[in-house]
Amino acid sequence: MATVTPTDAVSSDSAFVDIDTVGLTYGRGPSRTQALNGTTIRVRKGGFAAVVGPSGCGKSSLMKLVTGLLPPTRGSVRVDGQTVNGPLKIVGMAFQNPTLLPWRTTLRNVMLPLEIVQPHRGRLRRNYDTYVEDARSLLRSVGLDGFEGRHPWELSGGMQQRASLCRALIHRPDLLMLDEPFAALDAFTREELWGVLQALWMARGFTVILVTHDLREAAYLAEEIHVMSARPGRIVATRQVPMPFPRSLEDTFKPDFVELVHELRDHISRERQA
């Protein structure tokens, strides 16, 4: 595995994802809520950015903006040089809830995006065996070989989340959006999946934006961590994570790592009081 070294702050033109002074307001009149205000985040191609913040700071709104599910009220979102104004097909998503379909086997759950995204959709029937082989090797890479024919309810929470990751990646998206994907798992499973995600990222080179409230998770996985303020959310601090990849769980106990997590925690608690 190649080692990836974190880059310096990403400039506007080289950014793969460019969220530029974005504001987002829900509703009208007295029930108006401002979810985001002047948020700016840039992520390089193939980069791994984490967004942390107090709960209810508009992290999930950010996900919807980048994937084109919601238009921003102010500012602009650009992905791969194009302004986002509708659903992006080059995105894979995974959430805290694995949202697998209970009537499909694991393999067919993973293959769901292929039935929707072009050009795979048109090719699926003719090249079915190749695609099945693709899905199987993806499942193998997250340690789910032998479970292809099982239904989601026969899998543990961690296994369901692995399958959900596979579903987000099967159509080879350039951008992976993760909304607290490991929040519902126990600590051991969570740490195991950090390793799985890091290996996938290093092997496939997609860009990741990870929304999380777990600071150790952010520091373990990301090149760059953005701290959001309480609602309306904006970025109050951005920290590079200088440790080289691949990182191991051992690294998370080293002094500079602990110090980084500590500093992030300070930022968050200040935001919570504000």
Partner 1 sequence: MSKDQSTAAIDDEPETRAASWASRLENAGPWLIGLATLVIWEAACRLLEVPRFVLPAPSAIWDSFWTWRGVIGMHAMQTLYTTVVGFAFAVVGGVLLGIGVGTSKALYKSLYPLLIGFNSVPKVAIVPILVIWFGIGTVPAVISAFLLSFFPIVVNVATGLATLEPELRDVLRSLGASRRDILLKVGLPRSLPYLFAALKVAITLALVGSVIAETIGSNAGIGYLMLMASGRFDVPLVFAGLFVVAIMGVAIYAMFAKLEARLTGWATRDVVYATGS
Q: List residues binding partner 1 (CB under 8 A).
A: 64, 67-69, 87-89, 91, 93, 95, 97, 99, 101-103, 112-113, 115-118, 151, 153, 167-168, 171, 177
Instruction: Tell me how crowded residue 255 is: count the other CB atoms within 10 A of its CB.
Output: 7
Task: Select 40 or 97, whichever has its Cβ closest to partner 1.
Answer: 97
Residue 167 Cβ vs partner 1, minimum distance, rounded to whole Å: 8
Q: What torsion, rounded to 10 degrees, do the Cα atoms 112, 151, 195, 58 define?
A: 60
Task: Select 70 or 235, whichever has its Cβ closest to partner 1.
Answer: 70
User: C-alpha angle 65/174/35, rounded to 5°?
Assistant: 15
Q: Which tokens is 165 given?
A: 């990751």
Residue 103 Cβ vs partner 1, minimum distance, rounded to whole Å: 5
Task: Select 67 or 252, whichever has its Cβ closest to partner 1.
Answer: 67
C-alpha to C-alpha distance for 211 and 196, rounded to whole angstroms? 17
Instruction: Tell me how crowded residue 242 is: count the other CB atoms within 10 A of its CB.
Output: 11
Rounded to the nearest 10 degrees, what angle do helices 128-141 and 187-204 cross at? Answer: 130
- Looking up tokens 């084109």 gives 68
Task: Select 28 or 273, whichever has its Cβ closest to partner 1.
Answer: 28
Cβ(209)–Cβ(17) under 8 Å? yes
Residue 65 Cβ vs partner 1, minimum distance, rounded to whole Å: 12
If DSSP codes are grouped into helix, strand and coil, which group holds residue 120?
helix
Residue 48 Cβ vs partner 1, minimum distance, rounded to whole Å: 19
Task: Select 170 or 197, whichever has its Cβ closest to partner 1.
Answer: 170
Task: Select 115 or 256, whichever has its Cβ closest to partner 1.
Answer: 115
Residue 175 Cβ vs partner 1, minimum distance, rounded to whole Å: 10
Write phi, then psi, for 40 (nearest 5 degrees): -130, 125
Residue 141 Cβ vs partner 1, minimum distance, rounded to whole Å: 21
